[in-house]
Amino acid sequence: MGELIQQFWISTGFSVITYKELIMLALACTFMYLAIAKGYEPYLLIPIAFGMLLVNLPLAGLMEGEGLLHLLYLGTEKGIYPPLIFLCVGAGTDFGPLIANPRSILLGAAAQFGIFFTFIGAILLGFTGPQAASIGIIGGADGPTALYLTSKLAPDLLGPIAIAAYSYMALVPIIQPPIMRLLTTEKERKVKMEQLRPVSKTEKVIFPIAVTIFTVLLLPTAGALIGMLMFGNLIRESGVVPKLAETATNSMMYIVTIFLGITVGAKSNAEMFLRADTLKIILLGLVAFCIGTATGVLFGKILYKTSGGKINPLIGAAGVSAVPMAARVVQKEGQKYNPSNFLLMHAMGPNVAGVIGSAVAAGVLLMFFK
């Protein structure tokens, strides 16, 4: 009887679990708490946290051989899930504010500076070129783009980069406002912008087609992300396939998010995650995000000057791509200083420009290091 009990004990995970795995289980539970109790990116953070939980339960073998999570992970490893997320994002995004105010794309481009600044910092800290590129892309505040690039260049860093990217996206309302207030004056924050011009349906239909042709010809490595983003937007704006647009923005988005999140979390096993490099990645990601916000605001100040005070520089903070959270933060900050100010649609221009900008930046880095 004693031998049977001993054999049963040996067959359980309790007999072999390590302190590192216990730390990861605690971390997974913490992320689930933040997602459920605090509402931090729950749609993605819950799957990521539960994937982290599953992979750190010893002997389950879910990420080995024919294990369930290992098979599902092929969609992340082969770069399938992130472009599909971009398709869904495109189907739910109105590019009208960007079309109405083309200068917005300059703010989206300026906010990508954090990517390349952090890339250099990561190189100086000893990371390889592909690893540094994957870390730098966190500054774009675009989770799918970060996962896509990392899966191509540095799959061993997928876990910590995913956690960093989505954590900072969730913390946009906390991280951005102090930077915005530090870099602008009260007078600038009170600027009330003129209403955007109406954008015709023809313009909205031509835009995704034109952007796809120009961008993919110029930068073929950005084809998967830009192509799917613009395809999603085209089915939205065409108006003739409402069921496709509805499916992409609802059912498909949630299904792909589940698969993406749980498999990304499953890459965060104790041996790979609990390393000194993980702390460096998290800190570098924060630096990238802060610099991206700052450069967006600073370029907004340039436009404020050149426009004769007609552009509120706060909208530059929305260029970091986190759609639509960054635009909402701009709206909230603007109304603190001028209750009659409505900056949301103005901020959506640089916000969606940031999505395009982060995809283009990923394409540039992929071209150099793949």
Full-model pTM: 0.90
3-state secondary structure the chain: CHHHHHHHHHHCHHHCCCHHHHHHHHHHHHHHHHHHHCCCCHHHHHHHHHHHHHHCCCCCCCCCCCCHHHHHHHHHHCCCHHHHHHHHHHHCCCCHHHHHCCCHHHHHHHCCHHHHHHHHHHHHCCCCHHHHHHHHHHHHCCHHHHHHHHHHHCHHHHHHHHHHHHHHHHCHHHHHHHHHHHHCCHHHHCCCCCCCCCCCHHHHHHHHHHHHHHHHHHCHHHHHHHHHHHHHHHHHHHCCCHHHHHHHHHHHHHHHHHHHHHHHHCCCCHHHHCCHHHHHHHHHHHHHHHHHHHHHHHHHHHHHHHCCCCCCHHHHHHHHCCCCHHHHHHHHHHHHHCCCCCCHHHHHHHHHHHHHHHHHHHHHHHHHHC
pLDDT tens, 173-221?
888 999 999 999 999 999 999 888 899 999 999 999 999 999 999 999 9
pLDDT tens, 214-258?
999 999 999 999 999 999 999 999 999 999 999 999 999 999 999
pLDDT tens, 74-122?
998 888 999 999 999 999 999 999 999 998 888 888 888 888 888 999 9
Q: Mean pLDDT over residues 313-322, rounded?
A: 89
Domain segments of the chain as ranges: 82-242+276-369
